[in-house]
Amino acid sequence: MTFLNAGWILAVLLGAWGICAIFEFFFNRKSGNASGLEATMGVFGLIAGIAAAILSIFAIVKPGISLILDVFIIGIFIFWLIFGGISSIVSAVQNSKTADSSLWILSLALGIISVIGGLYGIVHIIYMAKTIGLLIGWLIMFYGIRLICSVFEQDK
């Protein structure tokens, strides 16, 4: 039941993040600041969110599909950690060249932590399964901090 709930949380988070990333790409395209990597991550996030929602519905109807859902949730979360971290690192490096302040360092550090967490999850998948709720909370907090910092960075 915990993984079923995590599946719904992951579906909503990935879907919302994917939609926001796609909208951000189209809004930034006019100013020339559009990131193709962020748009690609948004599309993959939206597709993964829809897939997680569908698998969660199937898991309610057919309990035998629960194992597939469990593995899918862990795999998508690990994928999200690694590629979200890479995206953070790339954007931090790009911002380091143009930023007046050093807020890009926080984005770089959070990206590195996300990549390390994802790689650790590949090696120790049971640990990832046991701590996925905590890690989702930390990841949401990291993205929130990154968004708050980006507001102050763009304010200048």
Q: 3-state DSSP helix/strand/coil percent for the chain, to nearest 5?
A: 90, 0, 10
Identify the pLDDT of residue 138.
Answer: 75
Identify the pLDDT of residue 117.
Answer: 84
Structure tokens at 94: 């790009």
Identify the pLDDT of residue 4.
Answer: 56
Identify whether the C-beta of residue 107 lies closer than 8 Å to the C-beta of residue 95: yes
Q: Which residue is it, tokens 């057919």?
A: 62
Identify the pLDDT of residue 150.
Answer: 65
Identify the pLDDT of residue 104.
Answer: 77
11-46, pLDDT tens digit by residue?
777 788 788 777 777 777 776 666 677 777 778 878
Identify the pLDDT of residue 6.
Answer: 65
Q: What is the pLDDT along the chain (156 residues), one digit of tens a residue?
A: 555 566 677 777 778 878 877 777 777 777 666 667 777 777 887 887 888 778 777 777 777 777 777 777 778 778 878 887 887 888 788 777 776 667 778 878 888 988 888 888 888 877 777 777 677 777 777 777 766 766 665 544
List b or e across 55-77, with b for residues whose CB sees 16 or more CB atoms inside 10 angstroms: bbeebeeeeebbeebbebbbebb
Query: How many other C-beta atoms lie within 10 A of the C-beta of residue 5?
Result: 11
Q: How far apart are CA 131 and CA 114, in angstroms?
A: 14
